[in-house]
Structures are given as structure tokens and as C-alpha cells.
Amino acid sequence: MEFTREIYWNVGHGATTLVPMYLLVIVAIAVVVKMFLQRREVYRQGLPLNRTDNLGERISGMLVNVLLQKKVTRVKMPGLFHGLFFWGFFLLLIGTTLIVLQADFTDLLFGYKFLKGTFYKLFSIILDFAGLISLVMLGALFIRRYFFRPEGLETKKDDAIMHGLMTFILLTGFVIEGTRMAVTELGTPVASWSPVGHLLAQSIAWMGEDTLRTLHKLTWWFHLLMVMGFIALIPFTKFRHILTTSANYLFADRGPKGQLRSLDLEDESSETFGATQVKELTWKDIFDADACTLCKRCQDRCPAWATDKPLSPMKVVNQIGEAAFTNSEANLIDLIGKDVLWSCTTCRACQEICPASIEHVSKIVDLRRSMVLMEGEFPGDEVMTAMEATEVNGNPLGIGYASRGDWAAELGIKTLAEDPEIDILYFVGCYGSFDKRNIAIAKSFVKLCQAAGVKVGILGKEEKCCGEPMRKMGNEYLYQSLAMENVELINGYGVKKIVTTCPHCYNTLQKDYRDLALAAEVETYTVYLEQLISSGKLKIRSEGLDCTYHDSCYLGRHNDVYDAPRALITAAGGTIREMKKSRSEGFCCSAGGGRIMAEEKIGERINIRRVNMAVDTGAGVLVSNCPFCLTMFEDGVKGAGVEDKLKPKDIAELLAERL
């Protein structure tokens, strides 16, 4: 007996079937093409941005994310539901394609059939299960959305249409299979290769052949109509994401992670800087909104949202999209709200988790740029004061620039002006240089280097703020003037290697300064010290310590440095009790995005929330790797009233204590 089945059984394979069927296919595809061409005009309102370079890598990146559902499945339960549903549906799509291929091409033109024998058995059983899994996963997603809806999951008409249509398509698919099998396969060995269809066939066999044939034919056409409806609905509903989210993987930012677009401030013809309208953002910023599925994973992880501030990264992205499609002249800053835009700490939690490769942070910074550069506006007078202080003294703390190197007076290190022959340049940063608490980090780092026999030099009073807080706050002009002076100075000394103890300096020198041709290699102290220890140059006493560790956003998510700091803590004899939110899911300390300069006036204090997470681990020490974090935690333990339970400490201090 041949294991196969008759394609177009009962509906016929003549012109009366094929002509209307293919007409429907053409109509559905035409609708999709036409509507996306219209949408493309909307995307094109944005500024140009090249996102088709390195096409090979882009395509493989897209395939990995679409086919393996890599980003989607990072959030376990709903991710797995979606993944399994996708894989099921994708197999059904392949199955249908094979049928079309055989019936309307290879068989029709060459009389060649491949859906037979063992291949047919596999084909049949795989599709049968794919249909079942899709249906069950759809049910699970339905129950999640309509009965156990997680907080913040927006549910609209789109979702109902999508659930309804998908369920009907899958159910009618089984009815078609069941009725066909009831008539043609019951009692044959072929039937066992479609277990679900078999079960259905057995239970409806009583209807009799005539009824089954009528039911089959009607359902077949109904199923076809719904599938074509589904295709035609793609541009009009959230089904859109099938194409747009996939395309967004193709157009994704390929890094360096979090590097911002440099504005050309020399361009005399520019009259506006930053963005207030859709046309001042890039086309990708508009496209992002189309790729968003409102999964709210960004919102769930946003430290501002979690502490009752008005910022939802998801909402910002969609407001930009809505403006692009409905009112492109709209002032985005008024539309989104200033408090919303100022609330962002640029912690990148949104962007890191986004299953659609949306870029949230650069949009917010672009809008901030407009507020600062075009209006001279800041979240508060304290921020303006810090900006002016930086203009005058090169640091946001407003301390006289000439005392920048004073902290190092007793350590026996020289400035490059005094002695440019060095192993490494230590770029200290403002907090390490001026802030009483953070000077301890700078001193510890220098002592560690000296213990390892490394000759360290500093820039002393010649060093200026790296400009990171100013840039993230939108002050591109001040950032560029600071950066240019620093780059010129460092390049002038012919520095080969720079090490930083501040992740904000690190990220800025390592990525942003490349636009200004910084020549030296840049490394974070955690990686650098880890190398010194593992190569045996630096010897650290191992001394037990029960601690928890906070991944700073700029060492963690922005630079993927998660293991070196942990290795250092372990080398120092520390045992880490991880907080609930750690590594790429780490929770911001509140000081990023230039917020170190601003008062936190809305909602709960982010640093207190984070300190309480640390307290919950039961560890007595909160180890961090960033002067901004340390500042926030010193403040946070006081604010939370847990000074006696939790001591904030930097990794460098921990190590220096064990020399």
C-alpha cells in the first residue's frame, strides 16, 4: 500500500478550484504589498540611516532570531508559548508550501510526486503535531491574555481578531483533515500517521460520506478564505509584526552597543539639533514602532516605570509611531512629555530585553538634545548649574579644576605632564577625583597597580569630565567640547593604554571617543585587574566575605562585562549572593543618563529600591564597580535606613584591603 494522499481530494484540481484560489492569493498578496508600500512612505519621513551594511551578517542574524526565536524565548513562559506556536505554524506553512509545490508544479508539469512513502509518513505526522501544538499554545496565550492577564499587557481589538482568526484557521484545518480521513483513510495504515486527524475522523464517521464530503468542501473553502484574510490583514493588525519584527532583526543596530549618533555641530547649514518632530528622527525610529508587539518586556524592566515615574519605553516608541502615521507635524516633546523624557537613566534594560530589536534609548536622547540645545531646558536648575560648572571647571561638581589631581598627592604617581613614560594612563573621572567617598576607589586602584608593578600616570588638572552625563542629558555641544579636549590631550601624549574605574568614562572613551579618533586602547579596571591576578602579577589575600554584587548598567548591559568583576570578588574570597535582578537583568542605581546631576523628584527613589533588593539577599556588603552606583548606594542605605545592615563598597576597595 502506498503511503500518500490525494491532494485537492473532494475539491477538485480543475480550473474551478485553482482559478478562484489563486485569484484570492494574488489579491491577498497585493493588499499586503500595497499597504506596506504606503507604510514605507511614512517610514521615509525620517532621516536616512544605513542599516543594510554587512548584509550577510544581518541576514544570518535575522534568521537566527526568527527561526530560533532566540530573543522571544528569553522570557520563559510566554516566550516558549510564542516560540512553540511559531514553530508549529511555521511547519504548517512549510507543509502547505510542499503541497502547492507538488500539486501545482512538479506533479502538474512533470508528473513527479514526492509526498509519498516514508517522506509522506513524516510529513503527515509532523504537520499533525504541529497543528496540535500551535492550537494548544494559542490556547495558552489566550488564557494568559484574557484570564490571567499580566499587569500592563495592553489588550485591544487586534488581539481578539488575531486569536479568533488563528484558532479558526487551525480548527478548520483539523476539520478538513478529519472529514477527508473519515471518508478515505479509516481502517488503513495511513491513518495512524495523522493521530489527531484520525481521532477526529473516528468521532465524526457516523455522519456518512455525503455529509462528510459537503462538510469537507465547505470547510476547505472557508479555511482558504480565512488564510487569505489572515494574509491580507497583516498590514492592518498586529499580525504586521510577522514581517516588521523580522525585518527589524535585519535592520538592528550592530553596535558598538549604546553608541550614540554624533551630531555635526560644525555644519553651518543646520538650524535644528536633536529631534522635536518625526522627520528629525531616523526612519528606523518610525519603523521600530511598527515592529513593536506591545509585549511590555521593556516596561517591566524600566527602573523609572518600576518606581512610579511616567516613563514607559514601550509607550514612547509607540507614540513616535503614532505621530508618524497620524500627525507627523506634532511636537513629540509635548506629546510624550518632558518628565517622561527626563526620567530615563539610559540603563538599557529596555533595549537589552526587547524581542524586536527596538532602540529606545537613542530616541530619548535625540529628543533630549532638542530640549537642551534648542531651548536651553533641563530637568531642573541643579542640572543647569552642573552643566555650567562643567563648562568652567571641567566637572559637574563645580570644584576648582586645578585640584583635580590632589587626591593622588601621597601616592607617588605623576601626571603625564611630569612624566609621560607610563604603562597605563588612569583616566580617573570626576567622582574618583573630587568626591570624598569615591577618592577611595581611585586610591585603591592605584595601590593595586603599584603592588603589581604597573607604572600608572594620570592627567591631573589637565583631565576633564569625559562628558558622558552631559551627552546622555542631551548636551551634545558640551560633550563634544570636553571630548575633543580630552582626545587631543591623550593623543598628544601618545598614550597606548587607558584604564578607567568609572564605567561611564569607559563606555565613552571606548566607544564615543572613537568618532573623535582617540587612538589608545581602553580597558575597564575590572578586566584589567582580573588579568593582573590571573597572570600572577597581582597577589591578593583571600579573606572570606559574604556579599552581593550589583552589575552597573554601563559595565553590564552596555559592555557585557559580567564575569571579570565576579571573578575578582571570588579571588578576594568573597561569596556572592546574587540579587533577584542581576547580570543583564540588573536594576539601575538611578544615576545613569546624566541623572547623577539631577534630583529625583517623581515617585519612589530608584536607589532605595535597589538597596532594598541587596538587603533582601541577607549579605552585609553591596559590592559595585561604578562611582555613580557607589554614590547612589551610600545615599540609598541612609534613605532606606539600613546603614547598619549593608555597607556599599567598590571592588577596588575590596581588593586593596587584601593586598
Partner 1 sequence: MKILVCIKQVPDMESKFKVAAEGTWYDNQDLAWRMNEYDEYAVEQAVRLKEQVGDADLTVLSIGSDKVKETMKKALAMGCDRGAHIADDAAWNKEPFQVAGIIAEYARDKGFDVIFTGMQSQDRGSGQVGVLVAEMLELPSVSTIVDFGYEAGTIIAKRELEGGIKAKVKVQAPAVVTCQLGLNTPRYPTLPNIMKAKKKELLSIPVAELLKVNARMETANMFFPEKKGGGLVLEGEAGELADRLISILKDKTTVLK
Contact footprint for partner 1 (CB under 8 A) = 265, 268, 271-273, 372-378, 381, 384, 387-388, 391-393, 398-403, 461, 477
User: Which amino acid makes up residue 539?
Assistant: K
Single out the residue of 474, 475, 379, 436 nearest to residue 627, CA to CA: 436
Q: How far is the CB of 486 from partner 1 (least distance, A)?
A: 16
CB 72 within 8 A of CB 82: yes
Smallest gap from Cβ 268 to partner 1, in A, equals 8
What ranges make up the beta strands (E) of 61-101?
none
Of 2 and 266, nearer to partner 1 (C-beta) is: 266
In the chain, count of helices (H) and strands (E)?
Answer: 29, 9
Distance CA 40, CA 484 (A): 38
- Say whether 458 sits in a helix, a strand or coil: strand
* Cα four-point dihedral sign 194, 196, 198, 200: negative
Among 500, 465, 504, CA closest to 486: 465
From the CB of 352, what's the least distance to partner 1, in Å? 31
Nearer to partner 1, 311 or 365 (CB): 365
Nearest distance from residue 372's CB to partner 1, in Å?
8
State how far Cα 372 lies from the chain centre: 26
Residue with grid cell 592605584, as numbered in its chain: 446
Strand order in the sheet with 545-549: 574-576, 545-549, 621-624, 647-650
Quick count: other Cβ atoms within 10 Å of Cβ 543? 11
Q: Shortest gap between Cβ of 391 and partner 1 (angstroms)?
A: 8
Output 49 or 389, the one with its CB closest to partner 1: 389
Which value, in Å, is the radius of gyration of the alpha carbons in the chain? 30
CB of 478 to partner 1, least distance (A): 10
* Cα distance between residue 318 and residue 310, in whole Å: 15
In the complex with partner 1, which residue's Cβ is closer, 47 or 126?
Answer: 47
Q: Which three cell numbers stand for residue 497?
A: 593604554
CB nearer partner 1, residue 38 or residue 272: 272
- Least Å from the CB of residue 396 to partner 1: 13
Please, are residues 274 and 368 in contact by the beta-carbon 8 Å criterion? yes
Please name which of 472, 458, 438 lies closest in space to residue 628, comparing C-alpha atoms: 438
369 within 8 A of 275, measured Cβ to Cβ: yes
Nearer to partner 1, 154 or 391 (CB): 391
As measured in angstroms, the least distance from the Cβ of 378 to partner 1 is: 7
CB of 269 to partner 1, least distance (A): 11
* Residue number, 158 or 377, with CB nearest to partner 1: 377
For partner 1, the closer CB: 390 or 500? 390
Nearest-approach distance from CB 367 to partner 1, in angstroms: 15
Rounded (5°) CA angle 573-579-580: 150
The least distance separating partner 1 from the CB of residue 584, rounded to whole angstroms, comes to: 36
Q: Which amino acid is at 393?
A: N
DSSP at 47: B
Nearer CB in complex with partner 1: 107/377: 377
Give dist(CA 466, CA 398) in Å, integer.
15
Rounded CA-CA distance 7/273 in Å is 62
State residue 54 phi and psi, 5-degree precision: 45, 50
